[in-house]
Structure 1
Amino acid sequence: MELFSDYHIISIGLALVMLGVASVIDVWKREIHDYFWIVFGVIGFLLIFLSPDLMSDLLTLGFALIIAPIVIIMWRIGFFGGADAFALIALAVIAPMATLSENPITPFTTLSNAVLLFVIPFIINVLRNTIAQIKGENIFEGFDETTGRKIIAVLMGYRAKNPKFGFSIEKTKKGKKKLNLKLHHAENQDFCTKSDTWITPGIPYLLLITGGFLIQIFYGDIILGRFLGL
């Protein structure tokens, strides 16, 4: 059993393989079959029986699965897709509360770290719109909107000539273009195919989850770390 004395390292490796493969599929196809998570989840659950401290790790697994109902509710509301929810649940099974750091973590650390990384798409949208303005493009041509809503649109998305994997955030009302800034359900709305229109990108959130997990492994919880001064 010496081979399995480093059970936690093996579980972290399995989790990283799962997230790496899933991230590639998500970027490529924006769709991951449920069986993918089931297979990895089952492997992760069976792996725990190789742990030298089985009862302790089973208790940790049970505690980590507190995240399951939370992410399912978030999925149903539309904050992210089912694949993202299943990824977080599978992570809780494969590598519950896993970290190589001595900093504190919680069952929600990967998710909270990923949420903080969510600022990156906003920065990209602002840069994209700024570059378009510098090039002389009138990105709000034909729109009848307030400055405040235009600022929100610049953060949320951009005017795409040939949109791909994005959701439309514009509509026509009484013959005038308006911004539609409501929450778009991650799974119930089709991607926009109309050219030269404002969209909010369909972000492959699995990339952010992978980043959040890597931060958890090597640093811990960003929010807790800042709160505790770590």
Structure 2
Amino acid sequence: MTFSFLSWLLRACICSTALVIASALDIKCREIPDELWLAAGPITGALTLFWLLERPNLAPMAVLSISLAALIAALIYYSGLTGGADAKALVFIAISMPLTQEEFLSTILAEHPFLPMASFSNALVLSVLLSMGILARNLAWRLRTGEPFFEGLEGSALTKALVLISGYKVRKEDFLRSSFLFPLEAPSGSGGRRLTLVVRLDEEREREVRGWLAEFQGPEYVWVSPGLPFVVFLTGGFILALVHGDVLFHAIHRTIKFLLGH
């Protein structure tokens, strides 16, 4: 076993473990302590540095990969699309494993060597698949119960469309007993109910909304979201990238080759 492959294996194991822990903490506590990245990052970063010293020809691509990941992390954070922990997780992946293992670069699984980009792309694919699953669940619920989706709820057509792919209806008592579901309903100014796309509220605001729903004499079902943080999808995307590369890039590449007759 060469040092290069051993380094790749160690970095993959440490990075996967840290991401799984981060996902569990974010789901349970809604917070990922910086100590997690500070504990794992220097170890994987040092292993990456030693790997590049042995493979100096890969250094320019590694620097490019880390730079691209840092740019995307900054964009998704400052645009408000994700939180700081998700951006840090992407940078952590870039520092830990900027490139696919050299022996895999020529295989069909890689097609491009930038592992952080593949992880991010795969995370987007997984989030879209979850949205499709949620939509299918909502359609099945509508056919099974015959209940309307949005009776008595205020919200624009766009908001309703987004709620259909990001949340689902559960019995009010089931929601109030759960600590892993987040409300997609809030009180409106007219004393009724309105849809909201703010999935993850701060604890005080969530307690207020839960208290309001508990007292509100309304329908049997309420809209909720599992509220999975993006780091969960990023973790899945990273593991998928290790075994199958960039799924979206692979599909696009194969489609273009098919259309061109290659």
Normalised by the size of structure 1, how large is the TM-score?
0.80
Which residue is 1:85 aligned to? 87
2:157 and 2:75 map into 1 onto residues whose CA distance is: 34
Given residue 41 of structure 2, which amino acid in structure 1 is its aligned partner? G
May I ask how many residue pairs the two structures share in their alignment?
Answer: 227
Which residue is 2:33 aligned to? 33
Per mean C-alpha deviation after superposition, the further-off stretch among 187-196 and 108-117 is 187-196
Which residue is 1:193 aligned to? 210
1:167 and 1:73 map into 2 onto residues whose CA distance is: 27
Q: How far 1:73 moved relative to its partner? A: 2.7
Does 2:25 correspond to 1:14? no
Change in 2 beyond 3 A, CA 1:54/1:45: farther
**Equivalent runs, 1:43-192 vs 2, <5 Å:** 43-51=43-51, 53=54, 55-66=56-67, 67-98=69-100, 100=104, 101-106=109-114, 107-133=116-142, 134-143=144-153, 149-160=159-170, 161=172, 162=175, 164-181=180-197, 184=198, 190-191=205-206
Which residue is 2:216 aligned to? none
Q: Give percent identity, aligned residues only.
A: 25
Contact 1:167 1:201 in 2 (8 A): no
C-alpha RMSD of matched pairs (Å):
3.1
Contact 2:131 2:166 in 1 (8 A): yes
Normalised by the size of structure 2, how large is the TM-score?
0.72
Contact 1:113 1:222 in 2 (8 A): yes
Q: Which has the higher helix share?
A: 2
Per mean C-alpha deviation after superposition, the further-off stretch among 170-179 and 92-101 is 170-179
1:199 and 1:80 map into 2 onto residues whose CA distance is: 19
Mark the runs of 5 or more structure 1 residues left unpaired by the alignment.
none
Mark the runs of 5 or more structure 2 residues left unpaired by the alignment.
214-220, 258-262
Q: How far 1:219 moved relative to its partner? A: 1.9
